[in-house]
Amino acid sequence: MIFISEERKIRADGRAYNELRPIKIEAGVLERADGSAYVEVGGNKILACVYGPKESYMRRFLRPDTGVIKVRYNMAPFSVDTRKRPGPDRRSNEISKITADALRPALMLEGFPRSMVEVSIEVIAAEGGTRCAGVTAAAVALADAGIPMKDIPAGCAAGKMDDEVVLDLSEIEDKNGQADVPLVIMPRTGEITLLQADGNLTDEEFEEAIELAMEGCMQVSEVQKEALKNSYSQE
């Protein structure tokens, strides 16, 4: 059992079912990047940096009517308990693509035709939920870079363990759980830009997980905005 108290449904790390792990966000942490952010969510430690808009050497990706976004998600070999093989793999390529898809609807790149915005996400330490934390970090880095945006996307996941739908699964909960539902939204409108589901959920549980994850995203959004305000106030 993951719950340490069946009566009160307190999780092993002391959280309630609808409680986020401790979250910390800093904007503008790298001088050489156009924009950057550092995010901690529980044991996750993630650094994101942005370069652009700029002309790209990969001309085949450029479009004459708008700018494009390219994301590179990478997990450091030392980010997990068992050393990860360096370099891209199938999972990192997949997350790179879905992160770009999750961020693209928020970007206003029409004024930058034939240009590219490059986003690098480096996972320094991983403890479950890195794709949502990566999107969260990348969105803050994009805002820090001054990229025109309709909104700042925020990511959070819900899941199911011991037949209970809970918010923001930790690594041990994810590995021993029954389902995982990563979600990214644009907080002002509630528009969903990323929704995935892995595991077994009833229709009611799926709806509950989405509602819970959306509440988590709104909490993450407040921390994002506070990080950007703090960064601007220090300039």
- Kindly report, residue by residue over 80-100, the tens digit of the pLDDT: 777 667 667 888 999 999 999
**pLDDT at 207 > cutoff 90:** yes
Q: Residue 20: which residues within 8 A CB-CB, separation 6 or more?
A: 41, 156, 167, 168, 216, 219, 220
- For residue 217, what are the CA distances in angstroms to 30, 86, 133, 173? 25, 31, 10, 19
pTM: 0.91
Percent of the chain exceeding pLDDT 70 equals: 94
Q: How far apart are CA 62 and CA 69, in angstroms?
A: 10
3-state secondary structure of 87: coil
Q: What is the mean pLDDT of residues 114-127?
A: 95
21 secondary structure, DSSP code: P
In this structure, of 56-70, 97-111, 164-178, 199-213, the range with the lowest mean pLDDT score is 56-70
Number of Cβ within 10 Å of residue 208's Cβ equals 17
pLDDT at residue 58 in the model:
73
Number of Cβ within 10 Å of residue 136's Cβ equals 30
- 25 or 81, which is more confident: 25
- 53 or 2, which is more confident: 53
**pLDDT at 62 > cutoff 90:** no
Q: Token pair 């891209």 is at which residue?
A: 88
Q: What is the mean pLDDT of residues 165-191?
A: 92
Q: What is the mean pLDDT of residues 116-120?
A: 96
In this structure, of 125-129, 155-159, 181-185, 212-216, the range with the lowest mean pLDDT score is 125-129
Q: How far apart are CA 85 and CA 83, in angstroms?
A: 7
Position 56 confidence tier, pLDDT thresholds 50, 70, 90: confident
* pLDDT tens for each residue of 3-17: 444 444 678 888 999
Position 78 confidence tier, pLDDT thresholds 50, 70, 90: confident
Q: What is the mean pLDDT of residues 203-227?
A: 97
Amino acid letter at 73? Y
pLDDT at residue 1 in the model:
40
End-to-end CA distance of the chain: give it in Å, rounded.
49
